[in-house]
Structure 1
Amino acid sequence: MSRIEAYSHTVKSVARQLGFDYCGIAKAEKLNDDARRLEQWLHQGMHGSMQYMENHFDMRTDPSLLVPGARSVITLLKNYYPSQQQSAHTPHISKYAFGKDYHEVIRAQLKELLQALNEKIGEIHGRGFVDSAPVLERSWATKSGAGWIGKNGNLITKHSGSFYFIATLIVDITLDYDDPFAKDYCGSCSRCIDACPTGAIEDNKVINGSKCISYYTIELKDALLPEQMKDQFKDWMFGCDICQDVCPWNRFSKPHHEINFTPIPEILNLSTKQWEEMTEESFKNIFRHSPLKRTKFSGIQRNLRFITRA
């Protein structure tokens, strides 16, 4: 085994020990094709009011601008599919938000991974990212062999679906690169397109973010939601899983083993009435480590009024 192969084996071994469900490696290089697609997507205004998507454009497509001397991009997947589901007639919340905020959980694990690699391999300069920096993680995941981009814009793995968080670790050492995932297994299936109540999924895997329920219930900070969207939210109060729930590949989803993603009991069980009667103080206490804090109490109440108002 060569030194590069040995280093790569170490990377994947440590990733497994830290509880990641997949680890793949791609060569750090400019994503020219992705840059063109992103530029067109932004030009068409499909990011809505998410102005941060326009920032640091070059960094999104050139890993060497994030980590000087970048040689390798390590993609890590972490399953979040829950073993428990919400009670009937409970305002819907995306499964990714059932437990502790994944940013906090995975960021700490990425830091631990980089520290372990420095101890086992030698001095490595790198940065870990999890959905909070200018990184095109789905593109890197495909390049590392993890899966393909579905028509709903999600990364889909052939053996266990799409309920995964994607983390990226960019490092300045050469590693053994995995083969890109070259095949698209969506075929002629259009279930996600047909099921999306707001028509956010367009042709050629283009997602109009400004039409997505997740955009309205999480990203949009307006005091009121657009009246024309009334009756299209299907009781989703925070995020939306419709396009994943109908995907045939998610019949292979298996419950995660990450204790930090254990569902908060209130998310599973609170009735609409209980949500309506919740105080801001209670919200801040119950969800202080939850992704729900991103929308804040005022956003949750806004969303709740919108899906319950006759």
Structure 2
Amino acid sequence: MVTDTDRVHLAEQIKQESQRLGFELGGIASAVAPDTYANLQEWLGQGFAGEMEYMANRESAYAHPDGVMPSVRSVVMLGMSYGPESGVAGVEWSEPPAGNLGARSARPQPPTNIGRVATYAQGSRDYHDVIRDKLKSLANIVHKLSPGCRTRGVVDTAPLLERDFARLAGLGWFGKNTMLINKFAGSYLFLAALLLDVELPADQPHETAHCGTCTRCLEACPTDAFVEPYVLDSRRCISYLTIELRDKPIPIELRDGMGDWLFGCDVCQDVCPWNRKAPAGIEDELLPTETLSNADARELLQLSEDEFRERFRRTPLYRPKRSGILRNAAIVLGNSGDERALPALIGALEDQSELVRGAAAWALGKLGGGDAASALQSRAERENNAYVMEEINAALERIPW
């Protein structure tokens, strides 16, 4: 029989071991129906999930963590920092406007033609795999401490409202950008959960938000993806566009707003004052690599399928597949305004993927010039895909003669 003393001891041991494994934050919530489930239903009903049909397909499973593990009694929520090494990367800090939250704000630097990858994805290995290994280690420890206990680790892929349970476990509050924010760690956090069939003493939920009147995250979004505070229309979010919308063209009205983002986006986190002193990540396999922290869109456009697989198969960038990443690279180069991108884009007009050819045509139309027009006309004489022809014709119309 498990006594109350045993439960307290097990909870303490789990938190200690999770810190040893690299999770800076840890808390415990009871396995209850999350009070935001109705918000999720409304959000899905509004169509804000876009092409992420897997969310609607398992909507009912989000209603309670027993949709993930039927016998669950407790949810151990964990947080691991992945913040940039020296505060917020790629931003300058400015003084806040009068009456706004009393901390400096971040101002993103102008886009470059190189291309940016979201901070969380710059490591040498996919965070899902890294954290899943750590959860397995933690689960093994729990099984030794409490023989017969059943567990299941969750990293971002199961129908569990992780941010909701993180708040219930006392890890932080919801920012207006929908991110979980911790006073000391900011919002650059990987969240993970370990579900147990043992009832553990729950921590106090975080009931108070600390965003005040600040709306920097809402105002900074380049594509106006926030319908209102705490409500994100994924269909306009750069992270969604560059990752989840991987088999379709990016809507033309949102391409300019993508700026130089190749994969994901950090803007609504970069401008958050709570991230001004966010701790840097320390997990070796998740630290930025040269390849991803200084990605070159021109070079990406020349990757073959085999080269793409070899370079990115262990990283999050493998999710959009080659066609998705190269589509993004073409848009980034179009937004760069840099004529040095022309050779790469002209070459991309011959790509095997119509998604890439269409994006390259749009980018050439935006850069303009005689070389771009000649390349587009040449491709038009040989192109047999209707979508690509639409992009070529629209691009040619934008180029003055």
What is the TM-score with the length of structure 1 in the denominator? 0.95
Cα deviation, residue 273, structure 1: 2.4
Other structure's SS at 2:232 match:
coil
Q: Is the 8 A contact 1:225 1:306 kept in 2?
A: no
1:223-255 per-position Cα deviation (integer Å, ceiling 9, x unaligned): 421111131112111111000000000002121
In the alignment, is residue 3 of structure 1 matched against residue 38 of structure 2?
A: no
Q: Structure 1 residue 60: deviation in Å? A: 1.0
Aligned-pair CA distance for 1:89:
4.6
Matched, 1:285 2:310: yes
More deviation, 142-151/86-95: 86-95
Question: Could you tell me which residue of structure 1 aligns to residue 62 of structure 2?
Answer: 60
Deviation at 1:88, TM superposition (A): 6.3
Report the equivalent of 2:185: 160
Instruction: Tell me if 1:108 matches 2:133.
Output: yes
2:300 alignment partner, one of 268, 272, 275? 275
Partners of 2:238 and 2:258 within 8 A in 1: yes
- Runs (5+) with no aligned partner, structure 1: none
Q: Secondary structure in 2 aligned to 1:82?
A: coil
Q: Does 1:17 align with 2:42?
A: no
Instruction: Output the CA distance in 2 between the equivalents of 1:150 and 1:114.
Output: 30
Aligned to 1:48: 50
1:117/1:202 Cα in 2 relative to 1: closer, same or farther (>3 Å)? Answer: same
Contact between 1:223 and 1:302, CA under 8 Å: does it hold in 2?
Answer: no
What is the aligned-residue identity percentage? Answer: 39
Aligned to 1:70: 72
1:95 is the counterpart of 2:119: yes
Provide the rounded CA distance (Å) in 2 between the counterparts of 1:191 and 1:204. Answer: 11
Partner Cα distance (2:112, 2:332) in 1: 15
Please name the residue that 1:128 is paired with.
153
User: Over alpha carbons, which structure has the higher Rg?
Assistant: 2
Distance between the aligned counterparts of 1:114 and 1:103, measured in 2? 16
Three-state SS of the structure 1 residue aligned to 2:28 is strand
Residue 223 of structure 2 aligns with an amino acid whose one-letter code is T
User: 2: CA distance between counterparts of 1:216 and 1:89?
Assistant: 19
Give me the whole-angstrom Cα distance separating, in 1, the residues matched to 2:307 and 2:66.
Answer: 44
Q: Partners in 1 of 2:293 and 2:228 — Cα distance?
A: 34
Tell me if structure 2 keeps the 8 A contact 1:34–1:61.
no
2-structure distance, mates of 1:273, 1:50: 29
1:214 corresponds to which of 220, 239, 256: 239
Structure 2 counterpart SS, 1:73 = strand
Aligned-pair Cα RMSD in Å: 1.7
Contact 2:114 2:298 in 1 (8 A): no
Q: Which moved more, 1:280-289 or 1:43-52?
A: 280-289
Alignment match, 1:118? 143
1:44-79 deviation line (CA, Å, top 9, x unaligned) = 100011111102222212112322221111101111
**TM superposition outliers: structure 1 runs of 4+ over 4 Å:** 84-89
Deviations along 1:122-169, one digit per CA (max 9) or x if unpaired, are 221121111111010000000000000100010000112100110011
CA distance, structure 1, for counterparts of residue 260 and residue 67 of structure 2: 42
State the aligned residue count. Answer: 309
2:255 is aligned, of 230, 242, 249, to: 230
Q: Distance between the aligned counterparts of 2:221 and 2:240, measured in 1?
A: 13
Identify which of structures 1 and 2 has the higher relative contact order when contacts are C-alpha pairs closer than 8 Å and 6+ apart: 1
Q: CA shift at 1:90, angstroms?
A: 2.4
| 2:85 corresponds to | 83
Worse-superposed segment, 268-277 or 296-305: 268-277
User: Are residues 204 and 242 of structure 1, via their aligned partners in 2, closer, same or farther at CA, if it must alter by over 3 Å?
Assistant: closer
Corresponding residue number in structure 2 for 1:175: 200
Deviations 1:185-209 (A, max 9, x none): 0110000000001111122401111
CA distance in 2, matches of 1:109, 1:80: 15
Q: Is the Cα contact below 8 Å between 1:82 and 1:256 reproduced in 2?
A: yes
TM-score, normalization by structure 2: 0.74
What is the letter of the counterpart of residue 5 of structure 1?
A: V
Letter in 2 for 1:52: Y
Which amino acid is the alignment partner of residue 196 of structure 2? V
